[in-house]
Amino acid sequence: MNQVFLRTIVTSFTTLLVLVALLIAGGEALKNFSLALAMGVVVGSYSSIFIVVKILLLTNLTKKDMEKTSNEPEESYSMD
C-alpha cells in the first residue's frame, strides 16, 4: 500500500505541475481544458488512494497473494 501511495502522489503531483504551467502560460484557449484535466487528476488520485486501498483492505489480500506462482509462465514480449 505504501507503493500505491507514493506512486499516486508523485504521478499526480508532476501531472498537476504541468497542468498549472499550462493554465498559466496556455492562455484563455487552454484554461478550461487544463482545469478539466486537473479535476480528473484530483478525482483519480482520490480514487487510487482512498477507494482502491479500502477495497484491498476489505479483501484481505497480502503481498504473497499478489506474487506469481511457480507454475505460471513468464510473460514474453518478443516480436517473434
Dihedral Cα 79, 75, 48, 18, nearest 10 deg: -30
pLDDT score of 37? 94
Average pLDDT, the chain: 82
The rounded percent of the chain whose pLDDT value lies above 70 is 80
Give the pLDDT confidence score for residue 61 in this predicted structure: 76
Are 38 and 16 contacting, i.e. CB atoms less than 8 angstroms apart?
yes
Q: Tens of pLDDT along 16-45?
A: 999 999 999 988 889 999 999 999 999 988
Q: Is the pTM of this model over 0.85?
A: no
Q: How far apart are CA 35 and CA 53, in angstroms?
A: 26
